[in-house]
Structure 1
Amino acid sequence: MASLMEDLRNTTAFIKDRGIGAVDFGLILGSGLGELAEEIEDAIKIPYQDIPHFPASTVVGHAGMLVYGTLSGKKVLALQGRFHYYEGNSMTTVTYPVRVMALLGAHSVIVTNACGGVNESFVPGDLMLINDQINYMGANPLIGENLEEFGPRFPDMSDAYTAQYRQVAHEVGEKLHLNLKEGVYMGFSGPTYETPAEIRMARTMGADAVGMSTVPEVIVAAHSGLKVLGVSCITNLAAGMQANLNHEEVVETTQRVKASFKELIKACLQAL
């Protein structure tokens, strides 16, 4: 495990050498949502492939760029595209950027995703604040020797999604005239979309939305003592609730709601 800490320190030193300083918020921008990073002021941009120990992002709609600068008066480090378990990455790799954010001094992470709606009151284009999660990915990024530098062996997940941040987001949403939903995000490994039977199971278990990301990053954020605001863009209704599922619809829906999404995140940053 010493080698992972060594890698993290090397990555952090490289990033600092490129001019990246103190970080307030880490931003993890999911499928079709990376455009927000283009609004970061005085931006320093580093392609993932240039960063030691960073893998490449292979998913359509993910730019694969680390962007640092000022957004809504806060110093942010944005991931334009994340790493997924279904790409063949280890859980350590999937969550690597979150640990880098922690080492750079971030106190909070805003994590976003495009996901399928399980709650029958949701419609494509809804924005959902995540209040809890279900890990159904078959793995946990904290398995193995514990990194004491970040947190305890058995971290508490009771408040993984910071309640205070959700309250602020709801207040911001009201001012922006956004009908924000709230609910539980359930993470599957992918890359297949879920079956209708799996969606019925997810609903029975209390999930409001399903996706293939976010859960590992939030586990590591909680372990590292970071506060978290989670925002899901409901891009489609889950299996059995609409005719068929495809990634093109995911990107198309995020394009349609990106203005509302960007306004929400920027206003939340300003208010937090």
Structure 2
Amino acid sequence: MYQKLLESSTYIRRRIKSNPRIGIMLGTGLDKLIDKMEKKEEIDCSKIPNFPKVPPGKQVKLLFGSIKNVEICILHGRFPYYEGYSLKEVTYPVYVMKQLGIDSIFFINSCGGINNNLGIGTLFIVTDFVNLGGASCLIGPNDNRIGPRFVDMSEPYSKDYIQKAKQIAHRLRIVPQHGVFGWVPGPYYETAAEIRVFKAVGIDVVGMSVVPETIAANHLGMKVLSICCVTNMATGIHRTKHSNDWVVEVAEKASTNLSEWIRNIILEIDLK
């Protein structure tokens, strides 16, 4: 894998001028941060050696640019586990970002609300996770040049970044919630019985991404921040049927505030 990562990162470096400091993975409907980027450069992931194969009719891109003086890299589109990718493929872009010199990574996505104190459109800071999928991207041989065999998870999300995010949210008059994210493989929306179990063990929100990528980032020693938009209340809490179109619509409405919040975090976090 180490050789594959070198090939991927070498291909990218030869095609960009940017020297990114922060990596960002954006979820569905949360694209407005891209509009705030300057000096944009774009690479089609289907052309990068060793990247997962992009399905026909879909686009997955790496975007490079800056927010004022901070250079960033955004993965626009993903390789979801529920599409049949292995978890090593799902997390491969995280490993490539590390090879590009990125030590800080943000996961921005949509999720379903379980905690009754949450509402549709709530912005949510992830402070911990539960891996409900029972799988890990770290299973298999380990290369110590990439990361350690056994990975500490005492601080999966940077406490410094969480504190800074809260301070900036207060200044922007954004009122986020925070708590535990539960990862499920999907692609079905959870049953009411599953949600009751998740709620009983202290899970606040649930989603089909973020956790495998968080595990990979911690394997690499990266600092992680994850912010979600609650786009629907989970089965049994909200009585109507789930709709992916509704999820996208809510995410797009929240994207303006969320992108401004992320922009300010990018400019103010300590990258040393």
Q: Same fold (TM over 0.5)?
A: yes
Q: Which residue of 1 aligns with 2:9?
A: 12
- Measured in 2, the distance between the counterparts of 1:124 and 1:225 equals 33
Structure 1 residue 227 corresponds to structure 2 residue 223: yes
Give the one of 122, 126, 133 matched to 2:129.
Answer: 133
1:72 touches 1:266 (CA, 8 Å); kept in 2? no
1:34 touches 1:81 (CA, 8 Å); kept in 2? no
Give the one of 61, 66, 71 matched to 1:65.
Answer: 61
Structure 1 residue 177 corresponds to structure 2 residue 173: yes
Q: Report how far residue 22 of structure 1 moved.
A: 2.3
- Measured in 2, the distance between the counterparts of 1:228 and 1:236 equals 24
Give the one of 111, 115, 120 matched to 2:116.
Answer: 120
Give the one of 34, 37, 42 matched to 1:40.
Answer: 37
Aligned residue for 1:191, secondary structure, equals coil
One-letter identity of the residue aligned with 1:36: L
- Measured in 2, the distance between the counterparts of 1:21 and 1:87 equals 31
Structure 1 residue 27 corresponds to structure 2 residue 24: yes
Q: Report how far residue 83 of structure 1 moved.
A: 1.4
* Aligned residue pairs, count: 268
2:18 touches 2:65 (CA, 8 Å); kept in 1? no
1:119 touches 1:209 (CA, 8 Å); kept in 2? yes
2:33 touches 2:260 (CA, 8 Å); kept in 1? no
Q: Report how far residue 54 of structure 1 moved.
A: 2.1
Q: Report how far residue 59 of structure 1 moved.
A: 11
The gaps in structure 1 that reach 5 residues or longer are none
Give the one of 258, 261, 266 matched to 2:263.
Answer: 266
Aligned residue for 1:229, secondary structure, equals strand
The gaps in structure 2 that reach 5 residues or longer are none
Q: Which residue of 2 aligns with 1:246?
A: 243
| More divergent stretch after superposition (81-90 vs 50-59) | 50-59
- Measured in 1, the distance between the counterparts of 2:265 and 2:223 equals 14
- Structure 2 vs 1, CA of residues 95 and 59 (structure 1 numbering), >3 Å: closer, same or farther? farther
1:72 touches 1:267 (CA, 8 Å); kept in 2? no
Q: CA offsets per residue over residues 166-225 of structure 1, 9 Å max, x none? A: 000000000110011101100000011100011111111111000000000000100100
2:38 touches 2:68 (CA, 8 Å); kept in 1? no
Q: Which residue of 1 aligns with 2:79?
A: 83
1:91 touches 1:216 (CA, 8 Å); kept in 2? yes
Q: Which residue of 2 aligns with 1:142?
A: 138
One-letter identity of the residue aligned with 1:65: K
- Structure 2 vs 1, CA of residues 200 and 147 (structure 1 numbering), >3 Å: closer, same or farther? same
- Measured in 2, the distance between the counterparts of 1:52 and 1:82 equals 16
- Measured in 2, the distance between the counterparts of 1:7 and 1:154 equals 22
Q: Which residue of 2 aligns with 1:95?
A: 91
One-letter identity of the residue aligned with 1:38: D
Q: CA offsets per residue over residues 96-142 of structure 1, 9 Å max, x none? A: 00000111111100111101001101111010000000011121000
Q: Which residue of 2 aligns with 1:236?
A: 232
One-letter identity of the residue aligned with 1:22: N
2:128 touches 2:156 (CA, 8 Å); kept in 1? yes
Give the aligned CA root-mean-square deviation in angstroms: 1.6
| More divergent stretch after superposition (145-154 vs 96-105) | 145-154
- Measured in 2, the distance between the counterparts of 1:46 and 1:215 equals 25
- Measured in 1, the distance between the counterparts of 2:52 and 2:30 equals 20
Q: What TM-score results when the alignment is normalised by the length of structure 1?
A: 0.95
Q: Report how far residue 63 of structure 1 moved.
A: 5.1
Identity %: 37
Q: Which runs of 4+ in 1 moved over 3 A?
A: 56-60
- Measured in 2, the distance between the counterparts of 1:59 and 1:264 equals 34
- Structure 2 vs 1, CA of residues 188 and 20 (structure 1 numbering), >3 Å: closer, same or farther? farther
